[in-house]
């Protein structure tokens, strides 16, 4: 563990809480990138040692000294990656790290390839976030549109059913107005009361 990361993890709690969630996401993701790069370097050295051991039949790994500073990305690339990390929502930080670890385990990249894989995982996450935001926006528009059209439909249907606008005369209207209903004429067949049968 480097001295800078040791201080970062051992800072007083009030200083840690002063960071914004976006800053913490950037820092966490970039720390994951540097750790994966160191792991890739370590695995690369182990593969080289195994190859030498198989070729010569003797293990000289204990004699080899490795440089303290391994592969590192350029400052420009670091800024680009930090900018991409800043666009990741805090709720996606964990899934991005898990996906990155999965991709690294799947491809077993060399140290200089790790940043390219990291960039692709960040782009994939950014696209997914964008798709989800668009889906939420469409859902909100759909719900608003449906509420508006539903209320208009309900209003129109109520106006069609209203009995006071109807042309059909009812007894209740006559009672409400206090008038006598028109006499209805019933047609009945005539029966004669004859004894001719």
Question: Mind listing the pLDDT tens digit for each residue in 108-140?
Answer: 999 899 999 999 999 999 999 999 999 999 988
| 46 in Cβ contact with 53 (< 8 Å) | no
Alpha-carbon 123 to chain mean position: 14
% of the chain residues with pLDDT over 90: 43
pLDDT at 11: 60
pLDDT at 85: 96
Mean pLDDT for the chain overall: 78
pLDDT at 47: 86
Gap between the Cα atoms of 197 and 127, Å rounded: 100
- Which range is most confident: 66-75, 86-95, 166-175, 183-192? 86-95
pLDDT at 151: 55
Q: What is the pLDDT of residues 141-168, one digit of tens each?
A: 888 776 665 555 555 555 455 555 555 5
- Top-confidence residue, 151 or 77: 77
Q: Indicate if the alpha-carbon torsion angle 5, 7, 13, 14 is positive or negative.
A: negative
pLDDT at 46: 87
Of 11-20, 76-85, 167-176, the least confident: 167-176
* pLDDT average, residue stretch 32-60: 86
- Top-confidence residue, 15 or 115: 115
Please tell me whether the overall predicted TM-score, pTM, comes out greater than 0.75 for this model: no
State yes or no: pLDDT of 64 exceeds 90.
no
Q: Which residues contact 26 (CB under 8 A, 6 or more apart)?
A: 82, 85, 86
User: Closest by alpha carbon to 71, among 12, 116, 114, 105?
Assistant: 114
- Top-confidence residue, 8 or 113: 113
State yes or no: pLDDT of 4 exceeds 90.
no
pLDDT at 149: 58
The CA-CA-CA angle for residues 101, 103, 104, to 5°, reads 65
């Amino acid at each position: 563990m480097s001295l800078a990361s040791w201080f970062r993890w051992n800072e007083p709690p009030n200083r840690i809480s002063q960071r914004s969630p976006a800053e913490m996401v950037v820092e966490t993701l970039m720390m994951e990138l540097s750790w994966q790069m160191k792991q890739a370097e370590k695995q690369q050295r182990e593969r080289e040692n195994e190859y030498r051991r198989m070729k010569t039949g003797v293990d000289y790994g204990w004699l080899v000294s490795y440089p303290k500073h391994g592969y590192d990305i350029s400052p420009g690339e670091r800024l680009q990656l930090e900018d991409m990390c800043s666009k990741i929502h805090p709720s996606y930080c964990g899934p991005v790290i898990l996906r990155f670890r999965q991709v690294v385990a799947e491809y077993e990249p060399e140290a200089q390839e790790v940043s390219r894989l990291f960039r692709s995982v960040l782009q994939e996450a950014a696209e997914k976030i964008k798709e989800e935001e668009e889906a939420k926006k469409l859902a909100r528009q759909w719900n608003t549109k449906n509420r508006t059209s539903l209320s208009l439909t309900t209003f129109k249907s109520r106006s069609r059913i209203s009995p006071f606008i109807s042309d059909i005369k009812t007894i209740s209207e006559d009672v409400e107005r206090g008038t006598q209903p028109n006499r209805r004429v019933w047609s009945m067949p005539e029966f004669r009361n004859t004894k001719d049968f």
